[in-house]
Structure 1
Amino acid sequence: MEFLGQDRREGLGRKAHSRFVLVLLILVSVLLLLSSLYSAQASVFKKAREGVMDVASPVLSLFSGPISYVNGVVGSVGDYFNVMEQNKALREENAELRQWMNEALELRETIEVYEALQGYAAPPEAQPISAFVIGESNDAFARSMIVNAGRANNVEVGQAVVDENGLIGRIVEAGGGASRVLLLTDIQSRIPVYVEGVNVEGILVGNTRAQPVISFTASADDLEPEPGQRVLTSGAGGALPRGLPVGVVTGENRGDITVDLYANYARTRMVRVINYAFPVVDHISDEEEASEAEEADSQADAASEPPAED
């Protein structure tokens, strides 16, 4: 009986050990199976990704060019507006500096005259009238502008019209609230001018082109202005104030001097009409002239007499 019980216990022990080994083998098999499946799945996903990349690569290459171009255009547009703002600021600064330059040159010329004459009488002050350009009339021959200032603003025919750069023309028609400005390039425009540094004056003649010409008098045959010299209004005939900047000499065309105007009509939006009161010479009658001559002679005789001795 003891042997039977011992065999039964040994048989049960072997069975339990076998079950443990079986369970352990099953667990190892499951782990190996999961590992192989994970590796296979990772390999499948990797291959799928590689396949998608291979398929998408030509498409991405096709669209990368337009996308880069669009990005470049957008960046260029931004740079363009930045450059436009900088150019606008530089143009405003240049116009202001040009105005200061013209005033400084005019002041220097005035000082030279003052030093030469040892005396100075201030000219009449000009009263500028601000106006906006509200219309233009440009055809084969006519070159003119309409401004929103007229007789109600003390605008009169013949007054000079300037912008921030220089003279652009003169008033030829003055209505109640608007006036017409004849531009320097109009074929009917005639403005008395002189070239700075040259003693001979001339007439600036419009020719419907961007650069009018100076027609000099017969006494200016030997005159040879150099390019870059300034052209100013001469004030001859009392038509316009003297010294308004007009432009610079650029060269010669068939015996006439071409002038590059300071004014840029394409950008002219605001102008000033120069309301300038020219001095009037009072007429002296013959009697007053004779009395003044007698008084001057008496003063001269008194000055020429020797002093009385004590």
Structure 2
Amino acid sequence: MAPSNQRRSGFSKRAQYNLFTGYIVAGIGALIGAVLLGISFFQPHLFGGPRGVAQDAASPATETVAAARTGSKSLWDSVSGYYRAGSKNAELKREVELARIRLQEAEALRQENVRLKGLLDLHDEERRPVAVARLVGSSSSSTRRFAYLGAGTDDGVRVGMPVRSARGVVGRILETGRASSRVLLLTDSESVLPVRRAGDETVAFAEGRGDSLLRIKLINLGINPLKKNDMFVTSGAGGYYAPGTAVAIVTELTDDGALARIVSDPAATDYVSVEEIFEPEAAVGARTPIEEELGE
């Protein structure tokens, strides 16, 4: 019978030697491991040196990994901070501008108190809003500048009442319904508001132009005393608006005054308050501005 071409490894002496050597090496390794394990239980300080050498050898690699991790974290913080910087800057600008408006209004009220200090019958009254409602629409496609308010006669709103936001004057009530009203905005071409520069007695009229700017026309013509970034507030003259409420900030000088940006943009305003018509105490007994307008 012919011998088979497939021979088992057991017939190869080299394979047998390799297998036997593997068993011997594994046995010696297990024995050394058992001895080292036993020594580690009874004499653990003997392995301090080898552990220190191993730690020193691995230290450069671990430092590199830690530095890479810290660097990637710093890079991510830088990238995310870059993308957040725009919104943070815009928020800070809004806060600074609002704080500046409040400071100018406070200065205007201080000046008003100085003027009225000599009156013996002067007393302060807290002005409570008649209604607080949302601006529900505007006439953006029209040449006139109106806004629509979600409050009407059922809420106590009457024609002529001033409308303001947290930033400043928005306009005044022009028409009323039971549950809604139409507001004549400051920027309307038919709007004229007596104003004065915050901090002194420079008086003027703020006239609407039909866009986002007001025309500041000085009453006393001559050398133009105005400067950019001057704040104008209501003067209280003519009724309607109480004195000291922010109106506009000068952006460009003209021969007879300036152009000013309104501080309370209706497009960026959600809720507004409707206030009582301002009537100076000196005008008690006289006809109010709304009575004169309506011919009552």
Q: Would you call these one fold, judging by a TM-score over 0.5?
A: yes
Superposition deviation, residue 79 in structure 1: 7.2
RMSD, aligned CA: 3.6
User: Structure 1, residues 179-224: CA drift from partner, whole Å, max 9, x if none?
Assistant: 111111111211111223453422211112222111233x323342
Q: Is the 8 A contact 1:193 1:233 kept in 2?
A: yes
Which residue of structure 1 aligns with residue 135 of structure 2?
133
Larger Rg: 1
State the AA in 1 paired with 2:209. N
Which residue of structure 2 aligns with residue 236 of structure 1?
237
* SS of corresponding position for 2:213: coil
Q: Is the 8 A contact 2:195 2:203 kept in 1?
A: yes
d(CA) in 2 for partners of 1:224 and 1:92? Answer: 28
* SS of corresponding position for 1:242: coil
Superposition deviation, residue 162 in structure 1: 0.9
Which residue of structure 1 aligns with residue 284 of structure 2?
281
d(CA) in 1 for partners of 2:182 and 2:83? Answer: 37
User: Structure 1, residues 23-66: CA drift from partner, whole Å, max 9, x if none?
Assistant: 9982216878xxxxxxxxxxxxxxxxxxxxxxxxxxxxxxxxxx
d(CA) in 2 for partners of 1:134 and 1:205? Answer: 24
Q: Is the 8 A contact 2:240 2:278 kept in 1?
A: no
d(CA) in 2 for partners of 1:96 and 1:248? Answer: 12
* SS of corresponding position for 2:148: strand
d(CA) in 2 for partners of 1:198 and 1:97? Answer: 20
Which residue of structure 2 aligns with residue 28 of structure 1?
14
Superposition deviation, residue 178 in structure 1: 0.7
Which residue of structure 1 aligns with residue 68 of structure 2?
none
d(CA) in 2 for partners of 1:160 and 1:209? Answer: 20
Q: Is the 8 A contact 1:147 1:179 kept in 2?
A: yes
Q: 1:111–1:120: structure 2 CA closer, same or farther, 3 Å change rule?
A: farther
* SS of corresponding position for 1:212: strand
Superposition deviation, residue 235 in structure 1: 1.9
- The gaps in structure 1 that reach 5 residues or longer are 1-22, 33-71, 284-310
d(CA) in 2 for partners of 1:197 and 1:102? Answer: 8
User: Structure 1, residues 91-127: CA drift from partner, whole Å, max 9, x if none?
Assistant: 7755763564255324432443365x27561254422
* SS of corresponding position for 1:97: helix
Superposition deviation, residue 89 in structure 1: 6.1
* SS of corresponding position for 2:211: coil
d(CA) in 2 for partners of 1:236 and 1:110? Answer: 12
Written as runs of structure 1 = structure 2, the 5 A alignment for 1:70-219 is 80=83, 84=87, 86=88, 90=92, 93-94=95-96, 97-98=99-100, 100-102=102-104, 104-113=106-115, 117=118, 119=120, 121-128=122-129, 129-217=131-219, 219=220
Task: Quote the sequence identity (%).
Answer: 27
Q: Which has the higher helix share?
A: 1
Which residue of structure 1 aligns with residue 28 of structure 2?
none
Q: 1:98–1:199: structure 2 CA closer, same or farther, 3 Å change rule?
A: closer
d(CA) in 2 for partners of 1:222 and 1:95? Answer: 29
Using structure 2 for the length normalisation, give the TM-score: 0.61
Q: Is the 8 A contact 1:230 1:248 kept in 2?
A: yes
User: Structure 1, residues 243-270: CA drift from partner, whole Å, max 9, x if none?
Assistant: 2110222222353411121112221111
d(CA) in 1 for partners of 2:193 and 2:116? Answer: 27
Superposition deviation, residue 239 in structure 1: 2.8
- The gaps in structure 2 that reach 5 residues or longer are 1-8, 19-75, 287-296
Which residue of structure 2 aligns with residue 12 of structure 1?
none
Superposition deviation, residue 160 in structure 1: 1.2
Q: Is the 8 A contact 1:98 1:165 kept in 2?
A: no
d(CA) in 2 for partners of 1:99 and 1:198? Answer: 16
State the AA in 1 paired with 2:14. V
Q: 1:261–1:96: structure 2 CA closer, same or farther, 3 Å change rule?
A: closer
d(CA) in 2 for partners of 1:224 and 1:204? Answer: 16
* SS of corresponding position for 1:275: coil
Q: 1:174–1:94: structure 2 CA closer, same or farther, 3 Å change rule?
A: farther
Q: 1:87–1:161: structure 2 CA closer, same or farther, 3 Å change rule?
A: farther
Which residue of structure 2 aligns with residue 224 of structure 1?
225
